Amino acid sequence: MCYKIALNFEDGVTRFIGCNSGEKVLDAAYRAKINLPMDCSDGVCGTCKCRAESGSYDLGDDYIEDALTAEEAEGGLVLTCQMKPTSDCVLSVPMTSLACKTGQQSFAATVAKIAPHNDAAIVLELDMDGGGAAPVFLSGQYVNIAVPGSGQSRSYSFSTVPGAGRVGFLIKKIPGGVMSTWLEQAAIGERLDITGPLGSFYLREVKRPLLLLAGGTGLAPFLSMLEGLVQDRSEERIHLIYGVTRDLDLVLVEEIEAYTRRLPNFSYSTVVAEEASSHPRKGWVTQHMPAELLNGGNVDVYLCGPPPMVDAVRRHFDETGVKPNSFHYEKFTPNAAAGAGA
């Protein structure tokens, strides 16, 4: 048995390694030429301490309290020199990828589909060159895509599920935007270079109800998450609130609707900010977030949207006094170097 271990470094780079049954994560990382922090490798110094975000594992009892206390272990901290996975796992490594002598992976891809949606967004789908395997990633993460002829790159979250043969992205259409302009004349079969995966915004192990908050093309990572939840046969209560500026910005609603039939406890609502809209729910996402969705705080909240939306939701939690079990968010701006780009 070989388990997939995602190593998520503090600079946002994620690398995946295989760890054999009974093998320690530290040894598997070195085998993959990734130098995780260590000193003694005997469970004595605590230098190799990381946080297990998801998955099951055996730490054994061959380490000392000074290296890892019982309270730390209970909170998800692990010693990679002792950790033997019993499932796929995600680890947060408190160092940069460069410090661990690794870095971003690069992939070559070709354009397979370009589908505009009104004047709001473009769906871009890519196939790996030579029929190669798609990048391994965690639902919610993003890659950098080099825009041909510009010397610039833009960052986009995957809208497709990990393991899919074709990768997809939902791109905000911006007049004069570097990527938007290129896509206007791009042809099927053109080559693109991508690097990644990147980002600490990804779906953790689902143990309680989920509230997903999407702003505009921040919908993309949630499409990836929802498809993964279908594959996992999740039965937790999941609600998505999808907020946009104009009616025309509501795209891929049919795809969202389909999940109400594929996920037993999934529901969603849409919100349009523009006052002139005839949409039944107008205003901001926070105005259409009933208390029951927060489940008294027993909920994991994921938010992907522009900075004002992220800030408004954080204020809403402070003002209502509700503290979610966890709150994960990704801010993006049209020309940012992380999150969804232009």
Strand partners, 243: 215, 271
pLDDT tens string 50-67: 999 989 999 988 899 888
Phi then psi for 247, rounded to 5 degrees?
A: -55, -40
Share of the chain above pLDDT 70, in %: 96
Q: Check whether 114 has a pLDDT greater than 80.
A: yes
Give the pLDDT confidence score for residue 72 in this predicted structure: 93
Whole-angstrom CA distances from 198 to 20, 123, 138, 329 are: 25, 20, 9, 14
Q: Which amino acid is at 255?
A: E
Question: Which structure tokens are listed for 298?
Answer: 């027993």
Place of tokens 């049954």: 21
Q: What is the pLDDT of residues 216-259, one digit of tens each?
A: 999 999 999 999 999 999 999 999 999 999 999 999 999 999 99
Q: What sections of 19-149 are H helices per DSSP?
A: 25-31, 70-74
Closest CA to 168 of 252, 254, 271: 252
Q: What is the pLDDT of residue 342?
A: 38
Between β-strands 238-244 and 266-272, what pairing exists: parallel, antiparallel or unpaired?
parallel
Check pLDDT > 50 for residue 341.
no
Residue 48: pLDDT band (50, 70, 90) is: very high
**What percent of the chain is modeled with pLDDT above 90?**
70
pTM of structure: 0.85
3-state secondary structure of 72: helix
User: Phi then psi for 256, rounded to 5 degrees?
Assistant: -65, -45
104 pLDDT band (50/70/90 cuts)?
A: confident
Yes or no: say if 338 and 142 are a contact pair by the CB < 8 Å rule: yes
61-70, 186-195, 267-276: lowest mean pLDDT where? 61-70
Average pLDDT, the chain: 90
Q: Using 50, 70 and 90 to split pLDDT, how confident is the model at 336? A: very low
pLDDT digits (tens, 9 = 90+) for 310-326: 999 999 998 888 899 99
Q: Please report the pLDDT score of residue 163 as a whole number.
A: 83
For residue 235, CA distances in Å to 207, 224, 230, 266, 291 come to 10, 17, 9, 9, 21
pLDDT-based confidence at 338, cuts 50/70/90? very low
Q: What angle do CA 220, 222, 228 make, to 5 degrees?
A: 115
- Reference 271, options 289, 258, 284; nearest CA is 284
The Cα diameter of the chain in Å comes to 66
Q: SS3 of 304, please?
A: strand
Neighbour count for residue 320 (Cβ, 10 Å): 12
From first CA to last CA, the distance across the chain in angstroms is: 42
Answer yes or no: is pLDDT of 130 > 90: no
Name the residue with higher pLDDT: 71 or 340: 71
**Predicted local confidence at residue 330, as pLDDT:** 87
Sign of CA dihedral 79, 225, 220, 281: negative
